[in-house]
Copies of this chain bind each other. A is one copy, B any other.
Amino acid sequence: MIDRQRVIGDLITPNNSKIILLVMDGIGDIPGDKGLTPLQEANTPNLDSLAQKSDLGQTIPVLPGITPGSGPGHLGIFGYDPLKYQIGRGILEALGIDVEVGEKDLVARGNFATLDDDIIVDRRAGRPSSEESAKIVEILNENIKQIEDVEVRFYPGKEHRFVVKLTGEGLHDKLEDADPQKEGKPIKYTKALDEASKKSEKIINMLIDKIKEVLKDQPKMNFALLRGFSKYPNLPQFGEVYKLKPAAVAVYPMYKGLAKLVGMEILKAGQTIEDEFNTVKETWEKYDFFYVHIKKTDSYGEDGNFDSKVKVIEEVDKNLPILLDLNPDVLVVIGDHSTPCAMKGHSFHPVPLMVYSKFTRKGLSKLYNEFECARGTLGTIYAVDVMPLALGYAGRLEKYGA
């Protein structure tokens, strides 16, 4: 994959245009029982009217057939090749539960597990509730505050999951997972994969023994598996790469975290879609790029809740005039991936894309949905093409060559 950011780097020419990137998470779908997708089923007069003035297309998040997680899905639409930039699971887990991560931190994802005679007999400790698990996290925080010169802090996650953050000098993250992946296996310690990570190896393996000791009398959650060791990734900063002043409007921690990773300013978004759109309105003069994230299209897709996904789309549509009235130069409507209700999870299907600007071909499509987008004037492109396209429509890219 050609690095789009490298190619367009020399072509960027700032102007006064304003760009909105509206991301309906997991928007793409496949037909449900009635033979329609949620986008087709939803009553969306505003999106459809916009489609008539826009160029439509569809994006491939990573490569055909590949289902992206939220990290790669978002990196792609932010213009970062998701095959080049890989964000560690520890970081993503930490972002997801709103853990602040800085340059001296090393984070990992943890699972509470059940140990019997030093053999891992349940990798998820009988799937405790989040409340039960949070109590164990509290016990760990009370008993383990430091290993040698490294501070240790635990954060509760969903069910058996938690995040551990190590803070200190000289921590590196080229480390094997401390997780045998299978039940019936003995404890697996981590192993440094390079010289620089030897200190982390030592601290983490001491930590594993300490956790075992502290939890030894717990009936089920008597051990922990640590994996996805990761430092804060050093990503090119969105504002510098594109010479934009970017802001992020997102309700959920994971997406605020992803936006922060690329250097966007995180705005107070409120709770509802209307709140989010009004946040854009209120800060319109201060930024020239707004990433707006709608979570629940994905959540209901994951739940297999077709009707509620339809309702979220209708809520976006109802509030869309708040954004349209701002008269953005470019409004991109997209998802980071598809989340078909019938699959109850992310999928590899292409993602419907709509780009509104004054300079569109328009006229081909009457509706905004998967099928009109598949036949749209933009064709089928990669997610990493979306930012260059938005910049092109915004007049922010100079001609390439004479």
Contact = CB atoms under 8 A, between A and B. Distances in A.
Contacts of A2: 1, 63, 83
A345 B377 CA distance: 20
Given A65-B397, A400-B82, A401-B72, A363 B359 contact: no
A388 interface: yes
A8 interface: yes
B64 A389 contact: yes
Given A392-B348, A401-B72, A401-B86, A371 B361 contact: yes
SS class, residues of chain A in contact with chain B = loop
Interface string A339-369: 0101101111110000000011111100000
Interface stretch (A87-95, A174-182, A192-200, A269-277): A87-95
A67 B7 contact: no
Interface in A330-344: 340, 342-343
Contacts of A60: 379, 381
A7 B402 contact: no
Interface string A25-59: 00000110001010000000000000000000010
Nearest to A87: B401
B377 A65 contact: no
A8 B7 CA distance: 25
A68 interface: yes
Contact of A360 (B4, B30, B69, B362): B30
Interface in A80-106: 82-83, 86-87, 89, 92-93
B359 A342 contact: yes
A328 interface: no
A246 interface: no
A286 interface: no
Nearest to A377: B374
A391 interface: yes
A379 B379 contact: yes
Given A343-B359, A377-B374, A380-B381, A400 B350 contact: no
B379 A350 contact: yes
A389 B380 CA distance: 15
B374 A363 contact: no
Nearest to A89: B402
Interface in A314-333: none
A385 interface: yes
Contacts of A390: 65
A393 to B, nearest CB: 8
Given A68-B401, A374-B376, A402-B89, A63 B7 contact: yes
Which 4 interchain pairs have the tightest Cβ spacing?
Answer: A379-B380, A65-B388, A65-B392, A64-B385
Interface of A: 1-2, 4, 7-8, 11, 30-31, 35, 37, 58, 60, 62-72, 82-83, 86-87, 89, 92-93, 228, 340, 342-343, 345-350, 359-364, 370-371, 374-381, 385, 387-393, 397-402
Given A69-B400, A349-B377, A350-B378, 4 more contacts: A86-B401, A364-B371, A364-B375, A379-B379
21 contacts: A2-B63, A7-B66, A8-B65, A30-B359, A58-B377, A63-B388, A65-B388, A65-B389, A66-B392, A66-B397, A68-B401, A82-B401, A89-B402, A347-B392, A348-B389, A348-B397, A349-B359, A350-B377, A350-B379, A361-B370, A380-B381
